[in-house]
Amino acid sequence: MEYIRNNSKVKWMELLPDEFLERQNNCPLVYLPMGLCEPHGHISAFGLDTIKAEYICEVAAQEAGGIIAPTQGYHIHETGYHAPWLEEVVGEVNPYMASIPPNILLHLFLYQLRAFNNAGFKAVIVISGHAGGNQEDLRLVASTFMEHYNMKVEIRADPELVKEKYEGDHAGKYEISQLMYIRPDLIDMSKISRQFKDETLGRFALGTDASEASPELGKKIINSCINETCRIAGNLIRSIDKKAPVKTIDFEQIEELWKKIAREQRDWTTWNLHKGQNPAGEGSRWKKYERWVPSL
């Protein structure tokens, strides 16, 4: 099925109060797009991850109902498995990333769930354009939240939405195709040769098969992502009680829940290497973050 973005208002920040309440009463579902700015080669805009997450959420909300929360434009990077990956594909240059540590992001995520609950939503869909394993830690936080509060939360990185059809990547055929379809003005394929020639930034995390990308493939991938997001939305709406009263959550309750999560969840994906992954070299600028675990 082909999905096309239209002009209907679905963003929380753009809705007037009566418009918000009408949409929420019909479908008390909120979408949280997540991404960040990070290198996607010389050919692509930094915000590829954020742009595709926003697009998927916007069209899904127009099709399936619900409201889109303000985008979370910062994400986890640098720590754990990210460190040797950055050494390999970025090297020692400045990556110009909008990354923050796992404990800050995950703590904030709890407060975002609180905000959704207190605003009257009964279900949440989180779509992360940044993948690799970060979504696993978001799910750990969400599962603990759901044990204590009557809200349903589904979290997907966009490659998970289409895992039976397409293989995700970083700034390769998969991702570059997505942006070529959504925002062709943010891709310049004439700069692909800089992957090998640029002395200042080098490869800059461009995928080795980026030259195979096409807007036609991007259209298929994005439509598949939207289709699966709509399916998840439908299942969530059918499973919730729209008339159940909202119980307000205060700061103290969230802080107690964060302490519980910090005590019980020590094996965070984003603080560790992937199984079998080689560590970063001792001289790498990324080495100091590889095993970095803050005091929780």
The pLDDT value given to residue 68: 98
Upper half-sphere CA count for residue 161 (Cβ side, 13 Å): 31
Residue 17 region by backbone torsions, left for phi larger than 0, else alpha for psi between -120 and 50, else beta? alpha
Q: Which two tokens stand for residue 14?
A: 């753009």
20 or 1: whose pLDDT is higher? 20
pLDDT tens digits along 65-85: 999 999 999 999 999 999 999
Q: How far is CA 26 from CA 11, 30, 56, 121, in A?
A: 15, 12, 20, 11
Considering the chain, what is the average pLDDT of its residues?
Answer: 95
CB neighbours of residue 294 within 10 Å: 11
pLDDT band at 3 (very low <50, low <70, confident <90, very high): confident
Residue 110 φ then ψ, to 5°:
-60, -45
Q: Does the structure show a pLDDT above 60 at 90?
A: yes
pLDDT tens digits along 124-136: 999 999 999 999 9
Structural domains in the chain, sorted by start: 12-169+225-290 (3.40.50)
The pLDDT value given to residue 97: 97
Alpha carbon distance 136, 140 (integer Å): 6
The rounded percent of the chain whose pLDDT value lies above 70 is: 97
Q: Does the structure show a pLDDT above 90 at 264?
A: no
98 or 242: whose pLDDT is higher? 98
Residue 157 φ then ψ, to 5°:
-80, 145
Q: How far is CA 233 from CA 62, 106, 229, 238, 262, in A?
A: 11, 23, 6, 9, 30
The pLDDT value given to residue 262: 87
pLDDT tens digits along 47-67: 999 999 999 999 999 999 999
pLDDT band at 146 (very low <50, low <70, confident <90, very high): very high
Residues 6+ positions from 186 with CB-CB distance below 8 Å: 44, 45, 48, 51, 179
Q: Mind spelling out the 3-state secondary structure of the chain?
A: CCCCCCCCCCEHHHCCHHHHHHHHHHCCEEEEEECCCCCCCCCECCCHHHHHHHHHHHHHHHHHCCEECCCECCEECCCCCHHHHHHHHCCCCCCCCCEECHHHHHHHHHHHHHHHHHCCCCEEEEEECCCCCHHHHHHHHHHHHHHHCCCEEEEEEHHHHCCCCCCCCCCCHHHHHHHHHHCHHHECHHHCCHHHHCCCCCCCCCCCCHHHCCHHHHHHHHHHHHHHHHHHHHHHHHHCCCCCCCCCCCHHHHHHHHHHHHHHCCCCHHHCCCCCCCCCCCCCCCHHHHCCCCCC
Q: Does the structure show a pLDDT above 60 at 296?
A: no
pLDDT band at 232 (very low <50, low <70, confident <90, very high): very high
